[in-house]
Amino acid sequence: MNLILLGPPGAGKGTQAQMIVERYHIPQISTGDILRSAVKNGTPLGKQAKTHMEKGELVPDEVVIGIIDQRLRAPDCNAGFVLDGFPRTTPQAEALQAILDKIGRSVDHVINIEVDPEELVRRLTGRRTCKNCGAMFHIAFHPPAKEGACDRCGGALYQREDDREETIRTRLKEYEKQTSPLIRYYDLKKLLRSVQGVGGQNQIFSQILRVLDTKPI
């Protein structure tokens, strides 16, 4: 099963991708996670991406396309994959199509998670991630049992640099301008399936499961 999760920052793509991974045993490919790890390790890729990410801007297309081209060829993608945060521009979507054509694969579903913009700001400012295992929490909607510590592994929770309000506004503008046209792009290809990104994470996941049990029209 080859999936794309589409939706604005804060829609819950990462959380839903993790739930899909647990259920279907396919890898989550998050360009955001790959880039953050490169920045942390100070690699050439990280150095290239850092300033764009700190400002909430998109990293240049050729950089992320290169990451995906390499990643999709790894053997663990043979059973499928869930793309989280890629593609984010029309050139990225076109490049993805070319990569998949080359390796004889295709996208099964594009799941678009819809959320109201003001709700996104509330969610993103409260978001906390475990430094150790990447588990995600929210100070109001999904707080950890012990403040500042991960329920899963006890690791320290941190707030992403780009989850501060001003950067969030830039990320939402980037989404509107560059990523939202992909909704129409995939709708025209008859791959788009929209779900409402409101309510608890299990409620959203139930809608996704319904989509995955259904063949695209």
So which residues are the catalytic ones? 13, 88, 127, 160, 171
* β 2-6/81-84 pair status: parallel
Nearer to ligand AMP by C-beta: 14 or 144?
14
| Cβ pair 40, 46 in contact under 8 A | yes
Q: Six-digit token pair at 203?
A: 């409620």
Shortest CB 28 distance to ligand AMP, Å: 11
Q: How far apart are CA 32 and CA 17, in angstroms?
A: 13
- Chain contacts with ligand AMP (rule: CB under 6 A): 9, 31-32, 35, 52-53, 56-59, 64, 85-86, 88, 92, 162, 171
Q: Which of 194, 183, 195, 179 is nearest to 56 (CA)?
A: 179
109 vs 162 by CB, closer to ligand AMP: 162
Tell the smallest beta-carbon distance from residue 13 to ligand AMP (Å).
7
If the CB atoms of residues 58 and 192 are measured against ligand AMP, the closer one turns out to be 58
Rounded Cα distance between 208 and 213, Å, is 9
| Smallest gap from residue 144 Cβ to ligand AMP (A) | 20
In the structure encoding, which two tokens stand for residue 92, read together?
């990225």
